[in-house]
Amino acid sequence: MYHQPVLLHESIDLLNIQPNGTYIDVTFGGGGHSLEILRRLGEKGRLIAFDRDADARENKIADDRLTLISSDFKFIEKEITNRNIGQIDGILADFGVSSHQFDTAERGFSFRFDAPLDMRMDTSSDFSAVNILNEYEYEEMEKMFRQYGEVPNSRKLSNAILNLRKTEEIKTTFQFEKMIEADCIPKKDRHKYLAQVYQALRIEVNGELDSLRALLEGAVHLLKPGGRMVTIAYHSLEDRLVKHHFRSGNFEDKLEKDFFGNPITPWEILIKRPIEPSEAEIEANPRARSAKLRCAKKLIVER
């Protein structure tokens, strides 16, 4: 399977599908969530899906109600506005890397395979993890590992990379791992450490957090009053941005209030605590383990 959709029924239930409504799935992937949305739509319903990964386009569902846009979802407002689609009833975003991307060795997303250090969601881009590891200065590299991967020895790792690349260009996953093995990778929690390093590189290569910010801001403008936004995040950086924006309407979580003491925010949070996968789902799909689902609706009048 290209990708097993996480929290499938929980997420689509929260979208509150109206048969003739217009919905957006900003992370099409294997099409699992999109297929369920289409099942619940009527003949006049419409689904717009986004995916910047060319491989995902091979999964396009043969349905006249579906429009698949080959673009980063950070351009959601521009793409929807240019097509004169009108206001949207609901937006779904599953921010996880697909199983296909992790399991395709040459994509370089996983340290399980010896492959080029790529990590591009959009393979037409000319910027990959190789550029970061061989070209970044110490300050930007250390900040990346610290902020995006929460790597505990980000300073030591960055210095090691700068010293190692003086004698050898860093090109592949196993080569990179071997280069930092002795000085940086802890004997305990080895898998967790490498996952943090790779997460930082992937977020930087694809500008993932900038895309998420643009998506949330665009969603406020596109959703009709009462329209819903459902998100599934897999690490604290993504989840925190969503939580803050849903709560306060900004990413700093600075809650402003009007003259009467009412919070000024475009969102009403519909579930107080994020929904997490059941033990049964985690057993069937271990990659769902860290998923957190949140949902909010656009207020009729922004407070």
CATH of the domain at 154: 1.10.150.170
Give the bridge partners for 292, in sequence order.
233
How confident is the model over 172-214, as pLDDT tens digits?
999 999 999 999 999 888 999 999 999 999 999 999 999 999 9
Domain membership flag for residue 3 = no
Residue with tokens 């009467």: 260
Q: Which of 166, 188, 206 is the last residue of a domain?
A: 206
pLDDT of residue 98: 56
pLDDT of 105 above 60: no
Give the residue-averaged pLDDT of 157-171. 95
CA distance 109 to 286: 17
User: Looking at residue 242, which CATH number applies to its domain?
Assistant: 3.40.50.150
pLDDT of residue 30: 87
Same domain, 59 and 178: no
User: Is 57 a residue whose pLDDT tops 90?
Assistant: no
User: What pLDDT sits at residue 303?
Assistant: 46
User: For 267, left (φ over 0), alpha (ψ -120 to 50), or beta?
Assistant: beta
Intra-chain end-to-end CA distance of the chain, in Å:
44
pLDDT above 90 covers what percent of the chain? 77
**Contact by Cβ (8 Å): 94, 33:** yes
**Residue range(s) defining the domain that contains residue 107:** 103-206
Based on the fold, state whether residues 215 and 286 are members of the same structural domain. yes
pLDDT grade, residue 53 (50/70/90)?
confident
2 part of a folded domain: no
Q: Are residues 20 and 87 in the same domain?
A: yes
**pLDDT band (50, 70, 90) for residue 139:** very high
Q: Which long-range contacts (CB under 8 A, 24 or more apart) does 281-288 make?
A: 281/6, 281/7, 284/4, 285/4, 285/6, 287/4, 287/6, 287/96, 287/99, 287/102, 288/4, 288/6, 288/7
Reply yes or no on whether the pLDDT at 151 is more than 60: yes
Average pLDDT (100-129) is 76
The pLDDT tens digits of the residues spanning 224-279 come to 999 999 999 999 999 999 999 999 999 999 988 888 888 889 999 999 999 999 99
pLDDT over 60 at 99, yes or no: no
| Res 120 pLDDT > 60 | yes
Q: Is residue 1 part of a domain?
A: no
Name the more confident of 4 and 14: 14
* Nearest of 275, 271, 270 to residue 291 by alpha carbon: 275
With a cut of 50, say whether residue 14 has pLDDT above it.
yes
pLDDT at 1: 46
**Between 73 and 260, whose confidence is greater?**
73
Indicate whether 226 belongs to any domain: yes
Nearest Cα residue to 77 out of 58, 91, 57: 91
8 Å CB contact between 32 and 288: no
223: which strand partners? 88
Mean pLDDT score of the chain: 91
